Amino acid sequence: MHQIEVSSNQGKQQKFEALLPQIVSLVAGESDLIANLSNICAALKQGCGYFWVGFYMVKGEQLVLGPFQGPVACTRIAKGKGVCGAAWVKKEVILVPDVHQFPGHIACNSESRSEIVLPVVKDGQVIMVLDVDSNKPDDFDQHDKWLLEKIVNMLSDN
Ligand code: SME
């Protein structure tokens, strides 16, 4: 049985440090990418309470919606567009405290207020991005960045 244990009486970093090995072991015995990305999204939704968490997969010149948890979302994003497209082109993590201040932000959901996007790089190429949205402004900090970077690094190393 696969289950995520989430403690409610710990600080954010402690909570994330307890969550990370659970996510690592969740995907460790499975080689199917879609299965693993799906479970990562579910674990992040359950463990961190994110409003929307999901992957966009690089397909040609577009990002195409992959496994996610949360409200329905845009299916395709052109290269360089939105926060996701920018993270792809720049090959870097983009943290947006207020999406209304990010030129070209794509509002898949009108409730989204802050966002963090991390590219997954394999053999020098971005193969997908991990996108996390919050319905609260300025909702992501260094603890979120730490946890999410560990996850994209794990996917990059595969
Ligand atoms: N806001 C993103 C689009 C994806 S949705 O948030 C799920 C962007 O600007 O790239």
Rounded mean pLDDT of 143-150? Answer: 98
CATH number at residue 88: 3.30.450.40
Q: Is the pLDDT of residue 154 over 80?
A: yes
31 found inside a domain: yes
Q: Is the pLDDT of residue 158 over 80?
A: no
77 found inside a domain: yes
pLDDT over 70 percentage in the chain: 99
Confidence at residue 38, expressed as pLDDT on a 0 to 100 scale: 98
CA of 83 to the centre of ligand 1 (A): 6
106 found inside a domain: yes
Confidence at residue 7, expressed as pLDDT on a 0 to 100 scale: 78
6 found inside a domain: no
What residues flank ligand 1, with Cβ below 6 Å? 52, 73-74, 77, 82-84, 105-106, 108, 112, 115, 131, 133
Could you read off the pLDDT of 92-116 as tens digits, one per residue? Answer: 999 999 999 999 999 999 999 999 9
Contact (Cβ atoms closer than 8 angstroms) between residue 84 and residue 117: yes
Confidence at residue 66, expressed as pLDDT on a 0 to 100 scale: 98
95 found inside a domain: yes
4 found inside a domain: no
Residues 6+ apart with CB under 8 A from 51: 70, 71, 111, 112, 133, 134, 135
> Is pTM beyond 0.85 here?
yes
CA of 143 to the centre of ligand 1 (A): 21
3 found inside a domain: no
- Sheet with 62-69: strands ordered across: 76-78, 62-69, 52-59, 125-134, 114-122, 94-96
Residue with the nearest Cα to atom 1 of ligand 1?
106
Could you read off the pLDDT of 2-35 as tens digits, one per residue? Answer: 888 887 788 999 999 999 999 999 999 899 999 9
For the chain, the farthest-separated pair of C-alpha atoms sits apart, in whole angstroms, at 45
Q: Which domain holds residue 88?
A: 12-157
78 found inside a domain: yes
- Half-sphere exposure in the Cβ direction for 80 (13 Å, CA): 1
CA of 141 to the centre of ligand 1 (A): 18
Q: How many domains does the chain have?
A: 1
